[in-house]
Amino acid sequence: MYRYPRSAYIHIPFCHRRCFYCDFAVVPIGDNIDSLNGNKSDTVKDYLTYLKKEILSIKHKSPLSTIYIGGGTPSILDPTQIEDLINIFRKYYGIDRGAEITMEVDPASFDEYSLNGFINAGINRFSLGAQSFNDEILKKSGRRHTKDDVFNSCSWLSKAKNENFIRSWSLDLIQNLPESGTNIWTIDLKEAIKFLPPHISIYDLIIEDGTVFKKLYDLGKLSLPNNDESYENSALTSLFLKQSGYVRYEISNYSISGHQSRHNRVYWKGLGWWSFGQGSTSSPWGRRLTRPKTTELYKEWVTNQCSLALDESLLKSSFKEIDLDEKIMLNLRTSEGVNVRNLMKEYGWSDEKIEGNYLKLIKTWDKYLDGGLLKNEGDRFFLSDPKGMELSNQILIDMFNWWEKIN
């Protein structure tokens, strides 16, 4: 039987400014922000009013084991506003003892005092969006903070972890930013592990439509690492972090033992989750729903949803198992890989249907097995590290093509 969603994502869209690579549903509101009684406070409070209405509108509430407050820049909010959101879940959904409650923080939007406030509000895991330790690269990426801000933030989080005020924290970096050749990237990695973050996320830069980087790229004014340099950076990351005691448990994520992100593993396992806020995507019962990406349309949607309960994807009666190809893709991103034959059985396929289609998929993947991008143990398949994890797109494209053909 499909279980009730045990995880919730809350989107806080506000940012001081939009970074040059960002195409998220964010609302830049300037550098001088007081979310309680000053500049832009009414904008923040108005959004939170609608966010709370959406959270309370869910009919099939159940206790949560993970909560993730992301953005945007959630650390723009005051700790009392974060506490208010957590208390709504505690009162109306329930929060498990031992739940993982994560919040994203930006090095330029909090200090040690506010960090302690967020901890007192109930946050026990933080994700620090550092992106780089290089001032020039940060400036060229449109980031507001400096490397000194990153150093301070890492020091505060490390201290909080060492004194057992939080359970864990993650340092997030972006690989292959402009001017980030192998030498500079090596320095970034060395700076990162000085603070012994229990978890490190390394995201590849993607040039998205509508961003400043896309405009500069089209004009030939964006100096990015070439393909060889990009692969060299990726291989360096894998080797360096492995030698530093980190396990690569998912394509973009590394941790020391016991510090994997429980919330993110919900996505990779294909389990259900709630999501609230402008531009966020939920999948509580297998069907995905993305909220409007602009504030006004989001507020209009919340009003209609609360009064008319328009979207059936939020109802337990609309349960639909996610498609097998998506489940394979999600599982394959992780270090555990995927047992394709067992997965087909879980989806109720007959032995005859399994045998024919399993062999077709393996034939599609033969060249990747021969080339060392894929490995297998019996019926379980893994992406090799680093080669397979860095070149996974073609493997997944061929799998999706297999899925279309057999359907």
Cβ neighbours of 181 (radius 10 Å): 14
> If you compute the radius of gyration of the chain from its CA atoms, what whole number of angstroms results?
22
For residue 115, count CB atoms less than 10 angstroms from its CB and return exposed for 0-12, middle for 13-18, buried for 19 or more.
buried
Backbone torsions φ then ψ of 243, nearest 5 degrees: -70, -20
With the C-alpha atoms ordered 160, 161, 163, 165, is the resulting torsion angle positive or negative? positive
Domains of the chain and CATH, by start? 7-268 (3.20.20.70), 324-406 (1.10.10)
Tally Cβ neighbours within 10 Å of residue 369.
14
Q: What confidence score (pLDDT) does residue 310 get?
A: 78
The model scores a pTM over 0.75: yes
Answer yes or no: are the C-beta atoms of 187 and 1 closer than 8 Å: no
Q: Distance between CA atoms of 127 and 110, rounded to whole angstroms?
A: 13
249, 268 in Cβ contact below 8 A? no
Phi-psi label, residue 2: left if phi above 0, alpha if psi -120 to 50, beta otherwise: beta
pLDDT at residue 37 in the model: 82
Query: Tell me, what's the pLDDT at 3?
Result: 77
**pLDDT for 190:** 97
What are the CA-CA distances from residue 27 to residues 15, 84, 143 (Å)? 6, 21, 15
Contacts of 398 (CB under 8 A, 6+ apart): 364, 365, 368
Q: Could you tell me which of 177, 167, 92 has the C-alpha nearest to residue 122?
A: 167
Residue 2 is predicted with a pLDDT of: 55
Q: Omega into 72 within 30° of 0, i.e. cis?
A: yes
Q: Are 294 and 300 in contact (CB under 8 A)?
A: no
Number of Cβ within a 10 Å radius of residue 184: 17
pLDDT (tens digit, 0 to 9) for every residue of the chain, 407 residues total?
357 899 999 999 999 999 999 999 999 998 877 888 888 889 999 999 999 999 999 988 999 999 999 999 999 999 999 999 999 999 999 999 999 999 999 999 999 999 999 999 999 999 999 999 999 999 999 999 999 999 999 999 999 999 999 999 999 999 999 988 899 999 999 999 999 999 999 999 999 999 999 999 999 999 898 888 888 999 999 999 999 999 999 999 999 999 999 999 999 998 999 999 999 999 999 999 999 999 999 999 999 999 988 788 898 888 888 999 999 999 999 999 999 999 999 999 999 999 999 999 999 999 999 999 999 998 899 999 989 998 899 999 999 999 999 98
